[in-house]
Amino acid sequence: METAPTKYPTAALIDGQWITSSRSFAVINPATGAEIAQVPNLGAKETLAAIDAASRALPAWSAKTAKDRAIILKRWFDLVTADTEHLAQLMTAEQGKPLTESRGEVAYGASFIEWFAEEGKRAYGRTIPTTVASRRYITIKQPIGVVAAIAPWNFPIAMITRKVAPALAAGCTIVVKPAEDTPLCALAIAKLALDAGVPPGVFNVVTTMDAPVVGKVLTDDSRVRKLTFTGSTAVGKALYRQCADTVKKLTLELGGNAPLVIFDDANLGQAVAGAMASKYRNAGQTCVCANRILVQAGIYDRFAAALVEAVAKLHVAPGTDARCTIGPLINSDAIAKVETLTADAVGKGAKVLIGGAPNPTGPLFYQPTVLGGITRDMDIVREEIFGPVAALMRFETEAEAVALANDTPFGLAAYLFSQNLSRAWRVAEKLDAGMIGVNDGIFSNEVVPFGGVKESGLGREGAAEGLEEYLETKFICLGAIDA
């Protein structure tokens, strides 16, 4: 057993208490295959206890002033920021990404705590001009109540703080189910929240290998008024159906199939840098990752050559290696999917320009890959790759590019590269996605709304919109004021 680089609990958190269990499961380092910790494998009973705790804590937490909650959140932000290196080491151990990326994610995750600490003080209502002289119309914003959050493994800190921070800032309490691959970061973040003064029961963490059972308890309980989920579209649809009977408010950040469109008039250096940042960050394991790179015919060959040259400089290694730019994939299923999609593309005529095979560093490592000659009949065009494989498609006209880009049931992110302002604006408006990057491969931060359209989800995280997801608008009619 490998020693986990953690000073934090490996127990679940319910009502301010660290909960152990006779049942547990292993957390595995994807770079080495070694076990780094055992965490409790909780079930329906413990999940219900967490909802009980959140429900009990709700009245007192929601009664605090926004400023009082902000003071606690700011202390939480300070504690997270102060422990960046330790949290980054922990993240790399259980998730695998390079340490430089882990450090960046800690800062990214902390930014949501800082942002919502302030934004919670701006949950403004309004007065509405009356239609009757004896009445006054007012709206106020109130916390929606107990929240359930189901988080993914690819950003094990940021995808939790992006949900927990606005919920707490709004006056809600929350039960978090982290991904079974990466529970340690969730527990560390929760411990720092307690240290900052978040009261018992306000922030609960249920670790489990039995996601369907825990998810069913969270969706069935009428006291849980909102569910926020980041993950696959298939699971999101199942949760959507399960929430119908209690009519919960939903935020769903689901699968993507992001096109990255490069026009002939693009700055080649910008396009290559943007594609590298979007495609190969976290070994291609991001929901906004460029899944299809659409390149106009006039620049296709030059772009492909430049991209291959850049990819050749990437270094595959465990995330703790200072030279690492590509770490392991999360598990064997992820490797199998990348191998299957690559083999299907090559079998249907795609050309391997670089890579195209597992990397000898370990069983979960894959070579950074570029495939050329991708066509619409290949599975890699329709499915989310979630690995370090760039799929290049050639197009001729702007209209063709837009049609190819939108030919998917998903609509999370899209990217385009062009030096023509008119074209950039025109195409950005036509792309069916919730977020568009123009001449930029990474755009997410705490001050802008994050979310998709079509089968990529509902609602938004981050920004002012992210706070609204945890608030209800109450209308008050004040009558008989002339009596």
Q: Which residues pair with 262 in a beta bridge?
A: 295, 417
- Cα–Cα distance measured from residue 326 to residue 318, given in angstroms and rounded to the nearest whole number: 8
**Cβ contact 112:446 at 8 Å:** yes
Q: Is 38 exposed, middle or buried (0-12, 13-18, 19+ CB in 10 A)?
A: middle
Q: Which residues pair with 295 in a beta bridge?
A: 262, 394
Provide φ and ψ at 332, rounded to 5°. Answer: -65, -30
Buried/exposed code over 224-260 (b: 16+ C-beta within 10 A; e: otherwise): bbbbbbbbebebbebbbebbeeeebbbbbbbbbbbbb
Tell me which of 287, 384, 455, 461 is the catalytic residue.
Answer: 287
Residue 101 known to be catalytic: no
Nearest-CA neighbor of 272 among 90, 67, 417? 417
- Cα–Cα distance measured from residue 322 to residue 335, given in angstroms and rounded to the nearest whole number: 23
The SS3 assignment for 141 reads strand
Strand 173-177 relative to strand 203-205: parallel, antiparallel, unpaired?
parallel
- Cα–Cα distance measured from residue 240 to residue 481, given in angstroms and rounded to the nearest whole number: 44
Length of the chain: 483
The SS3 assignment for 478 reads strand
How large is the greatest C-alpha to C-alpha distance in the chain, in angstroms?
83
Residue 287 known to be catalytic: yes
Beta-strand ranges (E) seen in 382-430 are: 389-395, 410-411, 413-417
Tell me which of 253, 384, 461, 468 is the catalytic residue.
Answer: 253
Strand 12-14 relative to strand 17-19: parallel, antiparallel, unpaired?
antiparallel
Number of helical (H) and strand (E) elements in the chain, helices listed first = 15, 22
Q: Which residues pair with 352 in a beta bridge?
A: 371
**Cβ contact 254:233 at 8 Å:** yes
Residues 6+ positions from 397 with CB-CB distance below 8 Å: none
Question: Could you give the residue numbers annotated as active site?
Answer: 253, 287
